[in-house]
Amino acid sequence: MPPDGRVHYLHIGSAALEDVVSRRAILARYLSGPSVAGCVGLDLQDIFDRGRQGDDWARRVLDEVLHALGVALAPWLERFKATVVAVGGGMTGSWDLVRPPFCEGLRVGGVSKHLEVLRSADSERSSLVGAASSAGSAPT
């Protein structure tokens, strides 16, 4: 696993993961693109909405970022022999745009076919439940 099991220590190429796959990074990348000058007050959901409505630049940014995330996580998931990855958080509201490039990135990154990618049913509490479960099973 990444140091301390914390994926934000990972890199995508020479860039820190958070400099590529974060709200801040996605907004900056989108706003640097064609025909978006003067867009004030956009948030990440706006970019997902624009991508869904046919904005090619929004789709390209999201596809590239989510693909890169899959590629970055793939070797760690393979080494861990993960069989399931549950994705939670705000992005799950745009699962139709998240899943395809993320899964393709996992494939390109070397994940074998045994990995199932699921959207968390309760992304508000899922990480807390996982942490509590892990803490409860940890040796004392």
Note the pLDDT tens digit of each residue in 24-72: 999 999 999 987 766 778 999 999 999 999 999 999 999 999 999 999 9
What are the two backbone dihedrals, phi and then psi, of residue 39, each rounded to the nearest 5 degrees? -75, 110
Phi, psi of 130 (to 5 degrees): -65, -45
**Six-digit token string for 71:** 């590629």
CA distances 56 to 34, 48, 62, 121, Å, are 10, 11, 10, 29
CA atoms of 65 and 22, how far apart (whole Å): 9
pLDDT above 90: residue 1: no
Give the span between the Cα atoms of 77 and 1, in whole angstroms.
Answer: 8
Count CA atoms within 13 Å of residue 75 on its CB side: 7
Please tell me the predicted confidence (pLDDT) of residue 130: 55
Confidence band for 91, pLDDT divided at 50, 70 and 90: confident
pTM for this predicted structure: 0.82
CA distance 18 to 11: 8
Q: What's the rounded mean pLDDT across residues 93-111?
A: 95
Contacts of 59 (CB under 8 A, 6+ apart): 51, 97
Cβ atoms of 88 and 127 closer than 8 Å: yes
Phi, psi of 118 (to 5 degrees): -120, 150
- pLDDT tens figures, 104-135: 999 999 997 789 999 988 656 655 555 555 55
